Amino acid sequence: MTAISQPHILVVDDELSMRELLEFLLSREGYRVSLAENGRRAIAMLDKQTYDLLLCDIKLGDMTGLNVLKAAKTKDPDTTVIMISAFATTETAVEAMNMGAYDYVPKPFDNEELKQTIAKALDLKTIEHEKEIIEDELKKNLHFDLIVGNSPAMLHIYKMIRQVAPTRTNVLITGESGTGKELIARAIHQESGRRDNQFVVINCGGIPETLMESELFGHKKGSFTGATHDKKGLFEVADKGTIFLDEIGELSLPIQVKLLRAIQERTFKPVGGSEDLSVDIRIIAATNKQVEKEVIEGNFREDLFYRLNVIEIKMPPLRDRKGDLRTLAQHFLDKYSREMGKKISKISSYAIDMLNKYDFPGNIRELENLLERSVALSTTNILLPDSLALSIHKRRWIEGIRDRRFDLDEVSQGVSLDSILEEIERAYLLKALEVTNGNKNKAAELLGISFRSMRYRLDKLGTNSD
């Protein structure tokens, strides 16, 4: 981790002795230190240049340190601010934190603790800065029209793509169906020196075993019934490029033997041919199976597994990267709105909440299918729960509320009563609408409320589809 080069700290305090002490302490730690004796001077200095950290007393002679804090954050929201004071109340300290201060240190302070607080604040600033750089580089270098998501799990995968793409090392991409394994393979190809050549996809589970050898390696005219002409295999087509072997775990053992030879020697014979053909290809394979288990059970050759699994990239299921769900949903909404010529701009927050409560066993592919269907059926410019085709999600969520056992002992740990009551209210409203097939008048009667109250409650909870 690269630290900020000699961080520059601005110390603001109206006491000369305190300014001198802080300048001495911080200079010895290797920091550049500038001093301001009052708020006006500090704000003037902030207008002229940027500081890595502001150490500011709350009580100044001409103004409160909160004014300096506000000025610093207005000029540069990334400025790290630590407030110090012997006179601040708890309310003032909380206000400073709410305005963006990193921390509050009361006087008199322990010198070592203050130095540790400053060091931690600057370390955090460095981490956040480097994360932004990495994310910016990834967004420039990777094809985000295809790959969507900035969760920690995906950032790790993007980093691996950048590391392995320039090499010719074989890569095995593992993960559940629908997690986007082919997109990762394409990104590796696009970021490699082979990007101008072919990216050839072979679905190993979609080609009959009797045709697999011919598909991979080609055949000569007359080599079998129906071979009326010479045909290039996909290995030859992919020469100088990348070949992606999807669902590699579906290959039969005899084909695995032939594939192993082709990978080891980079040569192969077409079916019915007598001469070896040489190719220069990058091998990327993918599977949703536990290949180690398949090896143990004798369904997959161990030597082939190790040839393919030089570098493994594990794709996380959607349930483990819920932080990307809103971005993914919006991505698919925009995609299918454009394709279908509709002007649907957003998804309601309540619909997103419901999606977050669903595990998506089909992963991103299932989410995309859901959004495509919802856009096709929607008659409004915003996707609400009713238009999001969420019947299965809605039903599971309502059943979850019905089966929930409220534990009053939770109160001792602290609860949000408003959230609990809102959750119950929403479940009853949705259940009433479900029972009445969406008839709000009848639903209101079942709940013993007026139609106007029904509309108000639906609007308040973001569930009104009118």
Q: Where are the domains of the chain?
A: 8-131, 152-314, 320-460
> Are 281 and 288 contacting, i.e. CB atoms less than 8 angstroms apart?
no
* SS3 label, residue 184: helix
- Architecture per CATH, domain 152-314, reads as 3-Layer(aba) Sandwich (3.40)
For 253-314, the DSSP string reads HHHHHHHHHHHHHSEE--BT--S-EE---EEEEEESS-HHHHHHTTSS-HHHHHHH-SEEEE
Helices 451-460 and 417-435 pack at an angle, to 10 degrees, of: 120
For every one of its 466 residues, what pLDDT tens digit does the chain have, with 9 covering 90 and above?
Answer: 345 578 899 999 999 999 999 999 999 999 999 999 999 999 999 999 989 999 999 888 888 889 999 999 888 888 899 988 776 566 777 778 778 888 888 888 888 888 988 988 888 777 766 666 655 655 554 444 568 888 888 888 988 998 999 999 999 999 999 999 999 999 999 989 999 999 999 999 888 888 888 889 988 887 777 777 888 889 989 999 999 999 999 999 999 999 999 998 888 888 887 788 888 999 999 999 988 999 999 999 999 999 999 999 999 999 999 888 988 998 899 999 999 998 887 787 667 777 887 788 889 998 998 898 888 888 777 776 666 655 444 555 455 555 555 566 667 767 677 777 777 887 788 878 877 877 888 888 888 888 777 877 776 665 554 4
Q: How many CA atoms lie within 13 A of 456 on its CB side?
A: 5
Taking phi over 0 as left and psi of -120 to 50 as alpha, with beta for the rest, 211 belongs to alpha
Q: Which residue has the tokens 């690269």?
A: 2
Residue type, 272: G
Q: What pLDDT does residue 386 have?
A: 64
- Report the distance separating Cα 160 and Cα 168, nearest Å: 14
- Report the distance separating Cα 106 and Cα 1, nearest Å: 31
Residue type, 252: S
- What class does CATH assign to 320-460? mainly alpha
Q: pTM score, two decimals?
A: 0.56
Fold for the domain defined by 8-131: Rossmann fold (3.40.50)
Q: Edge to edge, what strands does the sheet with 80-85 contain?
A: 32-36, 8-12, 53-57, 80-85, 103-106
Encode burial over 140-170: b for 16+ CB neighbours within 10 A, e otherwise.
eebeeeebbbbbebbeebbebbbebbeeeeb
Question: Dihedral of the CA atoms 59, 61, 66, 70 (nearest 10)?
Answer: -160
Decide if 152-314 and 320-460 have a common fold. no
Helices 440-447 and 451-460 pack at an angle, to 10 degrees, of: 100
